[in-house]
Structure 1
Amino acid sequence: MTWRTDASDSGDDVAASLETAPVRTDGGSHGVSSDGSTAGHDPDGPVGPDSPHQPDIDHDEHEHRSRWPLVAAVGAGGLYGGAAIAILRNETGLLPPLVGVGLAVVGTIVLLAGIAGWVDEVFLAPAREGAVGGSSRESYVWTTLLFLTTDVSTFGALFIYYFFVRIGTWPPEELPPLLGSLVIVNTAILLASSVTFHYAHEALEDGNHRRFLGLLGTTLVLGIVFLGGQVYEYYEFVAHEGFSITSGVFGTAFYGLTGLHGFHVALGVGGIAVLCWRALRGHYGPDRDTSVATVSLYWHFVDFVWVFLVLVLYVGATV
């Protein structure tokens, strides 16, 4: 932007020009305004997808590229591929014993590294470094919905496997007592966590920060308790019932579905823990709820999948 005087002014008169401020690689600006302050700098704290203090930039022209989703996808492929190879080896004995297990372990490490890097880049870095978020709230929400839509296929593959098992001789082997008080209590806990998360978000939108913190912390505790209940259920099945992932085709389907869901719950618990960490530092408000909205969508999806899983796997196996 340049200021020019009228053509009638002499060369000795004002002919000043104001150059545009240099732009940082993260999209921010450090130019000096007319009052001596630093343009684009927010003295009140970090800016990002959850902050109303956004610099005057064109978000439509901003592109955010990340390698972490690709890293996570490669890790997930290694995990699923390794599990499939391990099962194939167990049934046929054609492959070395540690190939599938080793691939699954490496895949798990890469997957967790990708997820950790993704979470840090999207949610933690803006709060820690004051980086500028280039995507709108709607962009994050719609991207989350797209991810959840694709995630349906992951669960769908295992559900289809279970449905094929049900088409054959049923039951394929002796089944343990699946539908007991433990799964009922665990289901109630997970549904309660979805309710507390919903009202935590409402409290944030109403500006009630204390209620928001209390309900969000309650959601985190309920998620951890659910995971503990699932681990205890696995212990009971393996130690007392002799029912494990190698217990025939139903054992593979049962632990594949419940284990995949438990993994999703663990990721959700990690996301809620990040929300709690940021909420305690005052990063959220009625107009700064992007992270809360996206993690909330994920958590409600996980709850819905669990209800469907219980009806199909636990209740369905007993009829």
Structure 2
Amino acid sequence: MSTEESHDDHGHHLPAVEDWPRGFGEASWWPIVTALGATGIYVGAALFIIGRGENPIVPSIAGPAVAVGSVGLFLVGLYGWLYHAFVKAFWSGDAPGHGNGLKWGMVAFLGSEMGTFGAGFGYYFYIRAGAWPPSELPGLLSSLVLVNTALLIASSFTLHWAHMKLREGDRDSFVKGLFATLVLGTVFIGGQVLEYWEFIEGEGFTLTSGVFASAFYGLTGLHGLHVSLGAVLLLIVFVRALMGQYSADRDVSVETVSMYWHFVDAVWIFLVVVLYVGAVVGAAPA
């Protein structure tokens, strides 16, 4: 980064005026900050669990406090990371020379995400191999799950359609497709919150209801977190699209966000088949 570039923030302000540390070439701490924030979310969840019950190990406020702080750290790191990977280079007029590297970086990230989800599914398969069900199951297969699934699948189609329209030079359809995808994703998140409310308030099915409950809320909560992150990324892309930042030959961030969103969609389909349908199959009738 030249001295001239370091003083040109293109109208943007802290925390990402310039990349850091200085003097390390392409090195950046922003991915590390993002990773620390994501790690803290898991730590907060663990503290929340051990802070409950008759003999809590830590204060009950510890888990929520760590989780909230970690979410903030995660978003700050994500902002700095995205700013220097995409936004600054675009407004400065730099050629998108690292496009392939960013795409392969997303592929590597999604590979690590497969490992993360794989650990959760491994836990579920372990308990599923024993006596089933380990406790009374809630009403897993409902119209809400079917509608939510249809919405998320539809969002992948609208996002793909929007991307194709961008490559055809149809910017209006591109923006409309992004907006439709963002709306569908947001409604999906709302549907998952509604499902949690029905299970917790209506059926008394909580995180502490047994080993299946821990697997269910762990996997669906992890997926919901990823969908929420995807919605934030889509919102960033949508705002940038309104500002006229994309074109047919400058769509790297659109493509990488699309890869992430389609991955989240595929995970949900697998989750519904394994966790929802798979839990009911073989269970004794109530």
Q: State TM-score, norm by structure 2.
A: 0.84
**Do the aligned residues in 2 keep the contact of 1:173 with 1:248 (CA within 8 Å)?**
yes
Match of 1:144 in 2: 106
- What is residue 276 of structure 1 aligned with on the other side? 238
Relative distance call for 1:249 and 1:91 in structure 2 (3 A) is farther
What CA deviation, in whole Å up to 9, does each residue of 1:68-114 have, x standing for no partner? Answer: 11011112222213323443454794612334444334333322322
Q: Distance in 2 between matches of 1:80 and 1:101?
A: 11
Q: 1:143 to 1:27 in 2, by over 3 A?
A: farther
Pairing 1:238–2:233 present: no
Q: CA deviation at 1:289?
A: 0.7
1:161 to 123, 134, 138: 123
In the alignment, which of 57, 72, 81 is matched to residue 118 of structure 1?
81
Instruction: Write the deviation string for residues 131-151 of structure 1: whole angstroms up to 9, x where unpaired.
Output: 636742111111111111111
CA distance in 2, matches of 1:110, 1:169: 42
- Residue 177 to residue 96, structure 1, CA distance change in 2 (3 Å): same
2:99 and 2:252 in contact (8 A); partners too:
yes
Rounded to whole Å, the distance in 2 between the matches of 1:160 and 1:84 is 18
User: Distance between the aligned counterparts of 1:307 and 1:92, measured in 2?
Assistant: 38
Query: How far, CA to CA, are the matches of 2:139 and 2:65 in structure 1?
Result: 32
RMSD of the alignment, in Å?
Answer: 2.6
Query: 1:105/1:282 Cα in 2 relative to 1: closer, same or farther (>3 Å)?
Result: closer
The answer on whether the counterparts of 1:237 and 1:243 sit within 8 Å (CA) in structure 2 is yes
Q: Secondary structure at the match of 2:177?
A: helix
Do 2:96 and 2:250's aligned partners in 1 also have CA atoms closer than 8 Å?
no
- The match for 1:53 is none
- Counterpart in 2 of 1:24? 2
Specify every segment of 5 or more residues in structure 1 that has no aligned partner in the other structure, as ranges: 1-22, 29-44, 47-61
Give the number of the structure whose residues are more often helix, by fraction.
Answer: 2
Aligned to 2:222: 260
Q: Residues 104 and 270 of structure 1: is their aligned pair in 2 closer, same or farther, counting only changes over 3 Å?
A: closer
Match of 1:196 among 129, 134, 158: 158
Distance in 2 between residues matched to 1:312 and 1:303, nearest whole Å: 14
Partner residue of 1:299 out of 248, 252, 261: 261
Worse-matched range after superposition: 62-71 or 292-301? 62-71
Q: CA deviation at 1:115?
A: 1.9
Change (3 A) 1:91 1:131: farther
Change (3 A) 1:133 1:74: farther
Residue type at the aligned position of 2:267: V
CA distance in 1, matches of 2:116, 2:95: 30
Report which stretch shifted further, 62-71 or 216-225.
62-71
Residue aligned with 1:66, SS: coil
TM alignment of 1:1-319, pairs within 5 A: 24-25=2-3, 63-88=25-50, 90=52, 93=55, 95-98=57-60, 99-127=62-90, 130=92, 132=94, 135-319=97-281
1:133/1:170 Cα in 2 relative to 1: closer, same or farther (>3 Å)?
farther
Question: Aligned partners of 1:144, 1:92: CA distance in 2, in Å?
Answer: 44
What's the offset of the Cα at 1:262? 0.8
Superposed CA deviations along residues 130-188 of structure 1, whole A, max 9, x for unmatched, are 26367421111111111111111111111111111212221111111011100000000
Q: Which letter does structure 1 place at the counterpart of 2:241? A: A
TM-score, structure 1 normalization = 0.76
Percentage identity across paired residues of the two chains: 49
Q: Name the SS for the 2:44 alignment partner.
A: helix
Q: Answer with 1 or 2: which has the greater Rg.
A: 1
Match in the other structure for 2:284: none
Deviates more, 1:102-111 or 1:291-300: 102-111
CA contact (8 A) 1:27 1:132 kept: no
Conservation of the 8 A alpha-carbon contact between 1:72 and 1:110: yes
User: CA deviation digits over 1:255-275, x for unaligned, max 9?
Assistant: 111111111111111111111
Amino acid at match of 1:241: E
Q: CA deviation at 1:119?
A: 2.5
The total of aligned residue pairs comes to: 266
Tell me: CA distance 1:200–1:96, structure 2 relative to 1, closer, same or farther (3 Å): same
Structure 1: distance between partners of 2:169 and 2:101? 23
